[in-house]
Each structure stands twice: as structure tokens, then as C-alpha cells.
Amino acid sequence: MMLKMPLHSSIIFRVLFLALSCLSAQTEAQLKVGFYSESCESAERIVNEEVTKGFMKDKGIAPGLVRMHFHDCFVRGCDGSILIDSNSSNTAEKDSFVNNPSLRGFEIIDNAKTRLETECKGVVSCADILAFAARDSVVITKGPVYDVPAGRRDGRVSLASEVLRDIPGPSLNVDQLTQSFANRNLTQEEMVTLSGAHTIGQSHCTSIINRLYKFNGTNGADPTLDSKYAGQLQQQCPQGSKDSSLVVPMNPGSQLVTDVGYYQDILSNRSLFTSDQTLLTNSNTASELSQNAMNQSLWMRKFAAVMVKMGQIDVLIGMSG
């Protein structure tokens, strides 16, 4: 004799079953450390080898890869769309004027991908390769060591038009920056922490020229910029120059070391971007900035944590991508 389940009990059972099924699928699809330990155990080693080779030839590769990972995650999430090439019908993210020619390190990702396709065909995503490469770039510049959860899948859409909308520019004020990071579920404190990546690398003169000459309709430089430092920058970035390749170090004292020099520069009014100097105009961000400047080990722990969190923005997982 079959027992018939009451209607309301049957409905509750089905709802619970669906909820548990969704939870199980979601749990299985989360990013995790060691994602390729069985499917391609050499994945992280191969990426690290390519980053190291690239860094030995060109020290600018490390800050370039960190910046590329940031630009990937802030546009459409960490889906590798920054790596997609343009074609006759579409201009991709990498060719936006924001990214071209300032982004660098694409050949490192290509080299790693080529090797991985030989060793583990169709297994390791470009988005994960970029996340690993950014971590290795932080480590090779004496920054914190941290594990990278993996399992991202690659996107297929890349639009240059979305870059200007989503990437926070060098002239934003603290409120605009806070909102931009909040749109990616990053707090104001995490914004200040992540901004410390500006401690390595270079900036094109075109990104700071507005602070050096005729600032806000005046005849001089931005008054918040140390006058001696402004003079040095003016020598490196001549007024009216048409040379788009001119660059200056982000943190002249240690531009190849991931440290708290960036924060110390801001406190000395020696930051390059308005978006950096503006952190002193808000009591909360100024307090965070000062704390980071005085405690490198604390900042490194926070920086590692926020790099991991940023690397999970709107990722494609499971059967997506």
C-alpha cells in the first residue's frame, strides 16, 4: 500500500530539495585554492616561470601585470576580457585609450597560455593565468605571499566603451573613488589598501600633465604638490611635449619594491595623481593612509587579502563562460 504525501508537505519537500541542490551546486562552483592540483598540477609553476623570465628582461612587467589584473576585474569582472583582441567589428578593452599603450605584459600571459595548452589542453583559463601572474608579480617585487583561489572561466565579450566608464581615473576625488570601488563591493578602507599598488611602476606624463601646468586655470602647478618635486616632474614632462612615451616613476625611492613608499609619498605631497593626493582630504582615508605608512607588515596583510577579494569580482564559474 502506497502512502500519499500531503500536498503541503510535498511542496515543502520540493522547495527544500531545490534549495539544497542550488546550495550544493554553488558550493562546488566556488573558486578554491589548488583548483588545478589534479587537472593541471603544473599550472601555477608554469605561470610563475613565465613571470620570472619576463621580469628578468623587463622590470616593468611586474607592475604591468598587477595593473592588468585590476583593469580586468573592474570591467565585467575577473573574466580575462582584457586579453581579448579587437577585430574589424569591435574595439576590445585592451585597445581603449585608457589601456593602450599603457598596459603591458600581454606576452607573459600568451607565453604561459601556450605552454599550458601543450601540457593541459583546454584546462587553465586565461583569467586564472592573469590572477596567478599578478600574485607572482607582487611576490617578485618583495610584496606579500598569498594563495590565489582559482576556477574562473573566461568571458567572450570585451568592449572598449566600458573601460572609461568602469576604470577609476587619475583625476577622481575621494567620493568618486569610494563610489567606484563600492560598485565592485570593495570598501573605502579596501580602496585605500589597494591603491598602495601604485608603489611600483611608472606613469605616463599625459596622466599628470594637468597637475604640472596651468592647474585649474592658474599659471603654475597644483599647490598640493611639493614644489621641488613639481619642478623635477616638469623637467621630465616638458610642457607642450607631443611625446606620448614619456614616463616617470610612481614611487621614485623604490619603484620596483612593493612597500609603503606610496603612502609616505602622499604624506610628503609627492604623489603623482590627483586620485592619490585626494586621500588626504577625507579624515577616514587620511587615517587609513597614515596607518599604512607607519606599519608595512599590517598593510601587506591587508593588501594580500584585498587582492584575493578583488580577484573574485563577478567571476564566471561552473558552466558560465
Please give the Cα distance from 51 to 59 (Å, whole number).
Answer: 10
Four-point Cα dihedral 123, 126, 132, 134, nearest 10: 180
Which of these is catalytic: 8, 69, 71, 198? 71
Sign of CA dihedral 81, 86, 92, 95: positive
In angstroms, what CA-CA distances link 221 with 208, 209, 229, 232, 233? Answer: 10, 9, 10, 12, 10
**Catalytic: 71?**
yes
Alpha helices, H only, the chain: 7-28, 43-57, 61-74, 106-119, 126-140, 161-166, 174-182, 188-195, 209-212, 227-236, 261-267, 274-277, 283-294, 296-310
Single-letter amino acid, residue 286: A
Report the catalytic residues.
71
